[in-house]
Amino acid sequence: MKESGNEHPCYVPPELVNCSSKAYDVTYQYYCYLMELNQDYKYEVCVRDIVLAIRSELDPQIIEALSGTSFVVERGKLSLNLSPAKRIQLSPEEVEQCRRFQTTLFRILLNRDENELPSASDNFSFGDNPEFDYLLLPATVEHQSPSNSIIDWKSVKSFPFSSASTCDCNCKDHACDVRIKNGSVCSCKLENCVVYTSHSKSFYTMTPIIWDLNGNSTLRHLGRHGTATYKEHFKNKHGIDLRFPEQSLLRGRKVFEVGNYLLKDRKNKNKGEKMGSEELPPELCSVIMSPISIGTVYSFSFMPSIMHWLEGLLVAFNLKMFLDHCTKNDIPIIKVFEAITAKGCQEAYNYENLETLGDSFLKYAVSQQLFKTRQNDREGTLSKLKEDVISNVALRKFASDKNLPGFIRMEAFDPKKWIIPGDKSKSLLLEERLVCSGRTSMYVGKKRKIELKKVADVVEALIGAFISTEDEESALSFINWIGIEVDTNIMPYERHLSIDPENLVKVKDLESVLNYKFKDPYLLVEALTHGSYKGPEIRTCYERLEFLGDAVLDNLITMHLYGEYVNEKFSPGFLTNMRSISANNECYALSAIKAKLHEHILCDPVVAKNMEKTMKGVENLSLDSTFGWELETYFCPVLADVIESIAGAIFVDSGYKKEIVFKSIRPLLEPLVTPETAKRHPISELQELCQKNQYKLTEHEHPPVRENDEILFIIEVKANRITRTAKASNKDTARKMASKELLKELQICKSVG
């Protein structure tokens, strides 16, 4: 199934799809897994364990990844433990019964419509096309005993219910004398069942009969009209005359709401809230399923979310198997799962941090490859070539050629759209064959449109998943596999300098500042030579080394931040913000000033004057902070450039060893940003605040003015009817200052309001 435009398949793992003969005279083998549910909250209803019966044996990695998972439900947290149980053989009739049971129960929970219920004659055997084939069945209370069946077959056979077959119970006071809407039954059949009432159009789970109340009893909860009996209440409110008012009432609770229990920011309801129940005359109740406990129905309300989570893990596992032939690293399945989960899923995991990590490494890998192999190309050409390779358009093309978009998880789970296993009305799947090692096919549930950037982000996140395990070799293998040629080979770097480096720059002084001794000091000269320098002894400038050093430093800082903080409590998106705060031109320029690198830069008088302007702006300010944007001053870009070009020079001189670069450059960047000291750039923070509060943000550039023999730029920023204007010798500085003042004013208004 090839993609059409931006449409891509949505893969379904083969472990959940039928894969056997459909002949009626065979038995089907299922691997059973006990899903033990544990609630950490008090509630009148206790969860029951569920048996997952599946046609393929689950890999231990899946069991480990799923076990211990917690889900935020209405009243607290529900944890899951998954453990293998014994295999079972089921006849075709038993499989049909199981599929009929789960389809009925899930349609009750999800659709809440009597007309949506299957009939006793509906066919639940396997069809001619691939379909979901796994069973969710109630576990017996005695499932831990090896002598007993793990499956509660009485509940499985609770549908279809027939009053004609209910007089075979063995209860002590047996009597088929309770009149219900669809016959007469023994009272024991009503203690654990699901009923439907047409007057309220609702399904209820039944709890024990209220023996002290009947239709002639006074309402427990009196309305504003005063005393009334249940018989009068049903007559007045619903127009129903009770024919058997002397019958004891039933207590029922409307079936449980099925929610998305994977949401990261899901809120709990009041933990002390009691279960709401209603008194119902038996004659108004149609029994749908019996016997089935309220705890079983409650537990099944969580199954769509749990199975969606398992399906995602299995998709990640299949992708992991798909990638195994191109890498050597046994990457953790949870990292692959994280890498394919978009922010839109609103779950505990998403790819933001891994995408930032992978984006950084991909830029580094491509930059060093271009630097090595294109030694006659200038920085502008190298940047264009890099963009052609790592742009979103290019990465989408690489990903599509390798069938990667089909593995992406991109939307929040909607229980209403969940496909009930065994429900033949929605379970059509198509097989798609993939060319890979170990796996030959996946299944397609639907096709969907995926934004170009999301596909590119997942490619970068998968690279980040490899890098997160500190395995650059596997990351490079993956990058080559998708179609981007990179390697770690060291190639000689040709320079054209004949003069003694000490005649141009103070090499020894700089080596002391950098705590690094150059094997080839000509690299240091190149790193400090601006393109405006006219000396005949130098035919090159720092731009190529800056191109390389920019990528190296960005990757080093990103890796440092990931290693220090991401495995702690910080949320997805944290790494992106921290990187933007730490690796930027203003921070680099401030670091260059503190190290007095400006004194060594070879440039023409115009550039020197611009650097002097920066030095004048900071001469009376404290330089303890590493946040350049906190200072309302102009930073000459050359100052930031030389930090990057020197990093590139050390990288090449050391034999492409990033750790040596970080050891040398890190002291210049101190103090490094921490989560406690991190502050967003005022422009980014203002944009985020306006987007969050739906403020219209506009910027206007006024004509420059001359003051004190200096050209000043004027920028006006406006949001929420508040305007701030700033003047500076640089457009970016004026914009930063105006945004900073507007942000401050908006925050004051918000706190007052």
Please state, in angstroms and rounded to a whole number, the distance separating the CA atoms of residues 324 and 670.
Answer: 40
Please state, in angstroms and rounded to a whole number, the distance separating the CA atoms of residues 166 and 282.
Answer: 15
577 in Cβ contact with 382 (< 8 Å): no
3-state secondary structure of 415: helix
Half-sphere exposure of 241 (CA within 13 A, CB side): 1
2-15 b/e with 16+ CB inside 10 Å = b? ebeeeebbbbbbbb
Contacts of residue 557, Cβ cutoff 8 Å, sequence gap at least 6: 579, 582, 583, 669
Looking at 352, 379, 550, 653, which residue is catalytic?
Answer: 550
165 CB neighbour count, 10 Å cutoff = 10
Looking at 457, 644, 653, 741, which residue is catalytic?
Answer: 644
């702690």: which residue's tokens? 568
- Catalytic annotation present for 411: no
Please state, in angstroms and rounded to a whole number, the distance separating the CA atoms of residues 263 and 305.
Answer: 10
Cα angle: 60, vertex 65, 70; to 5 degrees: 140
Instruction: Name 202's bridge partners.
Output: 197
Helices and strands, counts by H and E, the chain: 22, 19
Please state, in angstroms and rounded to a whole number, the distance separating the CA atoms of residues 529 and 613.
Answer: 19
The pair phi, psi for residue 112, each rounded to 5°, is 55, 40
704 in Cβ contact with 730 (< 8 Å): no
Tokens of 629: 């944007």
- Catalytic annotation present for 414: no
354 in Cβ contact with 475 (< 8 Å): no
Give residue 658's Cα distance to chain centre. 30
342 in Cβ contact with 264 (< 8 Å): no
243 CB neighbour count, 10 Å cutoff = 10
Tokens of 637: 């870009």
From residue 459, alpha-carbon distances to 237, 300, 479, 600 in Å are 60, 36, 9, 41
The pair phi, psi for residue 505, each rounded to 5°, is -135, 160
Instruction: Name 180's bridge partners.
Output: 183
Please state, in angstroms and rounded to a whole number, the distance separating the CA atoms of residues 131 and 14.
Answer: 10
Residues labelled as active-site residues: 550, 644
